Structure 1
């Protein structure tokens, strides 16, 4: 008995028509983009406006942004010590002579600024590496500075600074704690020597205010320091604008 063979179902190809339309539109888009790339600025703007109208979109005109203005760095004003400041300078010079006799010449520096007089003491002058305990052999140095501070009414800020080598100990998790502890140690010493606590302030800046490059051992040594800033007050200015 012969069986009739089933005819295979016809495969619909209706999907090909919208697919071809899509490819045609895509090709037109690429052609238009290529033409815009080859055209000038005005022609590109006209193409963009035509596309915007076709798709019911609003075209926002392009505005060129001006480059950011680079502000010049402020130049520190030139200052000089006043008559009172010169008296302080004489006391500091005596202190420098003392340092020279013990082989630490140049470890104390003086800067005249609009804010007042800044004494810069290198780390090895006061502390061992990674420590905030003042070396007893250098108590006489701080004694002379305390004597100087007791002779004037000016407020004083003690700043601690480090290099960029990280520290992580139980006492000092970072250079922030170390720099602040060193400044506080100096402030406590001055208080013990009779300087009024109301005049004193301790600040730690870690490695955020370097005065030399941290790329060399010499630069890092300069950055490890304590700065004692004697601030001008009305009636007892230590510095003044230079002519």
Structure 2
């Protein structure tokens, strides 16, 4: 019997050749690369679709986020052009409009309508003054001008010819006649109106405790509103009634001048009307929607 310890030991060595299996790590890397490329091309497409005005707003945010954030609202990327354009061309930096902002064409129509109303009002008052000597003597107390908000019609006091009884919101008869005439003209345009009362700087010395020129000016503005409605003005056309006391004088050099006591009626353009409604809490789309009252 042979000795087992003498049996030879054979060692087999396997040589590794070619390329072995690397696992799935490369698939993850490739998927990340494809995802990054998709995100990049999506970003480039979005940037190409945004107007330059909005791009400037985005750039401003990353340059100075605190400045943009402090402004608030949704117009951080709006163009800063003083003359707002149509905003249809996305390649233009200026002229991009926020939703609800009147176009240049609408603004021009509004301006033409108010200018025509101003001429019509002046013609009517001239005719009335010729036929009625009483109105003729008060003609110089009527002032018409175009302001940023629209057409402003002011009825001012003169010495010995006040609109209201002293220290009161009771209208003098001639002032009521003028407001009745104005009411008929205001119905000829679809625009809303704003009514403001103003006093001179003479302090209110009587009445209930705490009653001042603020309350007096507000009461007079509201009295003018009631008289306009009595004169056939649609109640829904009145958008705002303000009392300014003596804070906005016509004659700043002499705050006791009687002309500082006045009623100011502004026939609002559509842009001003939309701004007022937004300030009161309406959304931009609601504020720009046509109002039934003025239609």
Q: TM-score band (shorter)? A: 0.5 to 0.7
Aligned partners of 2:155 and 2:264 also within 8 Å: yes
Say if 1:173 and 1:95 are closer, same or farther in 2 by CA, change over 3 A. farther
Residue aligning to 1:180 = 218
* Structure ranking higher on relative contact order (CA contacts 8 Å, 6+ apart): 1
- SS of the equivalent of 1:106 reads helix
In structure 2, relative to structure 1, the CA distance for the partners of 1:126 and 1:95 (3 Å cut) is: farther
Pair 1:121-2:155 in alignment: yes
The CA distance in 1 between the partners of 2:255 and 2:206, in whole Å, is: 24
TM-score w.r.t. length of structure 2: 0.47
What is aligned with 2:68?
none
Deviation per CA, 1:87-118, whole angstroms, max 9, x where unpaired?
Answer: 21233213542357331232111110121000
Rounded Cα–Cα distance in structure 2 between residues aligned with 1:129 and 1:112: 30
TM-score, with normalisation over the residues of structure 1?
Answer: 0.56
1:231 corresponds to which of 241, 258, 268: 268
Structure 1 runs, 4 residues or longer, greater than 4 Å off: none
Of residues 223, 228, 231 in structure 2, which corresponds to 1:193?
Answer: 231
For 1:91-240, what aligned pairs fall within 5 Å after superposition?
91-97=120-126, 98-99=128-129, 101-102=133-134, 103-123=137-157, 124=161, 126-170=163-207, 173-200=211-238, 201-213=240-252, 215=254, 220-233=257-270
Cα distance, 1:154 vs structure 2:
0.9
Note the residue ranges of structure 1 that are not aligned, 5 or more in a row. 1-76, 237-243
Q: Which moved more, 1:111-120 or 1:127-136?
A: 127-136
Aligned in 2, Cα 1:216/1:116: closer, same or farther, shift over 3 Å? closer
CA change 1:99–1:132 in 2 (3 A) is farther
Whether the 8 Å CA contact 1:167–1:173 is kept in 2: the answer is: yes
- Asked whether the 8 Å contact 1:160–1:225 carries over to 2, the reply is yes
- Give per-residue Cα distances to partners, 1:153-176, cap 9 Å, x unaligned: 111111000111101322582101
Question: Residue 84 in 1 paired to residue 122 in 2?
Answer: no
Conservation of the 8 A alpha-carbon contact between 1:96 and 1:108:
no
For the aligned residues, what is the CA RMSD? 2.8
Cα distance, 1:210 vs structure 2: 1.1
